[in-house]
Every structure is written in C-alpha cells, then in structure tokens.
C-alpha cells in the first residue's frame, strides 16, 4: 500500500532547498596538517613498529617493519582527516595502486585517496580506495620487511595498535564517518541533527554502512548523507517549510485515519517523512507510535535519524530497490535518487535537482577518501 502512494510526494517537493544554499563545487582535499591527530607508534606483528627507513623524509622512502625504538621515524600522526603522517609527510600507496602487493612509502601529502586510511575496531588499517589492509609482506617479522596493502584477511600481519586509542578505533562510534568528517560535511547544520543522534540510530539497521567492504560502506554513508543534505538544505530544516501543504498529507482512506489531526503528517526529519501511512509504517517498524505522535520526529534527534534509516534500508519508493541495496549491489548513486524522488527528478524530470544531489555526493566521497563509483545519474 505504501508503494502505491509515492506519486503523492509531488505535493511536498516544492519545499526548501534554495539554489543559493547549495554547494556547487568539490571540496578541496589538500590538507596542510590533520584537523586533529593522535601521535605515537603503530605496532603490529611480533611487537614491531611501522618505521620510515633510515628516518628519511624524502619522497619514496620505504615504510617497513622494525624494532620499536621511539625515534621520529616511528612517530605517526593518525589524523581525523584520514591521513597517517610521519616526518611531515604521508603514508602513501605507491603509484596510487589498488592491487594486492602495492608497496607503501612516504610522500608529500596531496589529499589523494591513496593517502587515506581508516583504523577499524578490529585493529585493521584500511585504505578505502583499494578496500585493502595495511599488511606485512609475507608475514615476515624481520627488520626491514616492507609494508604493503593486501586483501583484508584478519591475520596477525594485518593487526595494528594505532596511537589514537591504544589500538582501537579512533572513531569510538564505530560509524565509517567520524564526527569531524560529519561536521565538515555539514558546517551550517541545525544542532538538532546531531552526530550522536545519528550514531544512536544506527543500531536499528546494522547492515547500513557496514556491508560490502570499506569502500562500499563509505560510499553508502556518503550517498545517504548527500540525499538527506539535499532534502533538508544541508541538515538545516527539521520540518517542511511550505505549511500550506500540511493538510494534504492525511489519507482518510486508511483504516486508521489521522488520529493526530488532518495537518499533522507533514514532512519531518532528515528524509522528510510525510503522509499518515508512512508515519504508520515507519512507527510500526521502529516500535514507536508515530501515527499517534508524529511530533516525535521533530523533537527527538535519534528518532528522526531512525525514520530516515527506515526509509533508506526498507523502502523502494518510486524506484525498484531500496537505496541501501542500490549502493551495496553497486547499482550507483543514481539509483538512490530514483528510490527517493525518481518520479519527479529522474529521466529528465528535474536535472538541476539531480545535479545538486550528485555534486553533494561527490563532495562527501571526497571527504571520506573513496571513489564515487559509476552510474551517478538517474
């Protein structure tokens, strides 16, 4: 029944996003220094450390395993911007390669995806572009053994104790988007759309941004956040701005009617939940009486985020698949647009709005250090 109703979204799509508020350029990713960093040794196989050969800061200097000695060649800054730095330069995958066995060296920090790293809760250090782990070549613990990237196996030669938390995840939430990255994405957001509210909501849909490997997980997070950014003018608007539409979102043909009132089911939250039947479906799925109290979506940050994740993970909308499945199955960002507002924007319906979503997605994937993938448009 919900799927038969999505044509009615046309009433609410005149809402908010003013052209002047849209970000139209890609964010520069040429950091001079990490926004914040924890500094120390990175230890791993046989208790040895990640080391810059001969403590040289020259471009191309090999990065290797070596006895821990506390010198500057082993002092690494694990930054919230995704870089790992020593001697003023970045840990870099040679030749921008994503292949197994691509070696690591030191290089000038460029902001490239081959210099982006994520320390996971499982103590892997992952390059999201390659979706591969920092690896000791040949499982060899001898001093001078080169470090490389390799498909993540969970083996001891891929486990590291990074300085951020003494070996754990530098992002305590476990979400693939750190709070610093979230704030970078939404510098002017309404405080209602809190990072803590978002991370509290993640447990409702544990497959979100955790499926398909590091790259796909970050692409999905970027896609979700890009779409909600578009829906809310950069996480500024909590409720639909066109109040004249409010009385139109009650379908009295539903057996449960509109117990909160004729004008109570207007758009709210990150993905602008609207219509009484959608409040009913989302509330039933989440175990919350949203039909009787739709105001929870505008008063409780975690509930607002949960409704957006409900749609993202369970609803096809006017598309043929959920946005979650579109990203996990690598159907592309364009398919997420189709599932959210394809009946009005896709197939030439509103190319300006589609471009706005795509531009934001490109910016967010840049922040997360991953490629956009194919099929950006619908």
Query: Which residues does the annotation mark as catalytic?
Result: 231
- Concatenated DSSP letters for 295-351? THHHH-HHHHHHHHHHHHHH--TTSSS-HHHHHHTT--HHHHHHHHHHHHHTTTT-H
Is the dihedral angle over the CA atoms 353, 354, 358, 361 positive or is it negative?
Answer: positive
Is the dihedral angle over the CA atoms 337, 177, 28, 116 positive or is it negative?
Answer: negative
| Residue 76, H or E segment | strand 76-79
Torsion of CA 292, 297, 300, 303, to 10 degrees: 90
d(CA 281, CA 84): 45
Per the CB < 8 A criterion, the answer to whether 374 and 265 are in contact is no
Question: Pairing mode, if any, of strands 84-86 and 76-79?
Answer: antiparallel
d(CA 190, CA 178): 18
Burial class (CB in 10 A: 0-12, 13-18, 19+), 239: middle
Per the CB < 8 A criterion, the answer to whether 294 and 260 are in contact is yes
| Residue 229, H or E segment | helix 214-232
């Amino acid at each position: 029944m919900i799927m038969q109703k999505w044509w009615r979204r046309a009433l609410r799509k005149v809402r908010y996003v003013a052209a002047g508020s849209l970000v139209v350029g890609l964010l520069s990713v040429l950091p001079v220094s990490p926004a914040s960093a924890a500094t120390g040794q990175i230890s791993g196989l046989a208790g040895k450390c990640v080391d810059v050969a001969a403590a040289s800061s020259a471009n191309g200097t090999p990065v290797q395993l070596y006895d821990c000695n506390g010198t500057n060649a082993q002092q690494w800054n694990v930054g919230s911007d995704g870089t790992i730095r020593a001697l003023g330069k970045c840990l870099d995958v040679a030749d921008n390669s994503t292949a197994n066995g691509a070696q690591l060296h030191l290089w000038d920090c460029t902001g490239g995806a081959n210099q982006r790293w994520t320390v996971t809760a499982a103590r892997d250090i992952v390059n999201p572009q390659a979706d591969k782990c920092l690896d000791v070549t040949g499982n060899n613990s001898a001093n001078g053994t080169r470090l490389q990237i390799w498909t993540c196996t969970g083996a001891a030669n891929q486990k590291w104790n990074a300085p951020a938390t003494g070996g754990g995840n530098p992002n305590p939430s476990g979400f693939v988007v750190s709070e610093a990255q979230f704030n970078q994405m939404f510098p002017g957001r309404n405080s209602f759309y809190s990072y803590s509210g978002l991370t509290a909501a993640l447990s409702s849909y544990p497959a979100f941004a955790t499926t398909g490997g590091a790259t796909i997980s970050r692409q999905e997070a970027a896609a979700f956040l890009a779409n909600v950014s578009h829906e809310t003018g950069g996480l500024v608007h909590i409720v639909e701005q066109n109040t004249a539409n409010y009385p139109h979102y009650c379908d009295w043909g539903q057996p449960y009617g509109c117990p909160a009132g004729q004008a109570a089911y207007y758009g709210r939250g990150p993905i602008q939940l609207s219509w009484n039947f959608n409040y009913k479906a989302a509330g039933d799925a989440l175990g919350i009486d949203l039909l009787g109290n739709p105001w929870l979506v505008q008063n409780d940050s975690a509930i607002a985020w949960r409704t957006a994740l409900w749609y993202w993970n369970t609803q096809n909308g006017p598309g043929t698949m959920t946005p979650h499945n579109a990203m996990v199955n690598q159907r592309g960002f364009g398919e997420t647009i189709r599932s959210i507002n394809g009946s009005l924007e896709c197939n030439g319906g509103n190319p300006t709005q589609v471009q706005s979503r795509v531009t934001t997605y490109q910016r967010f994937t840049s922040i997360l250090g991953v490629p956009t993938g194919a099929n950006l448009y619908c």
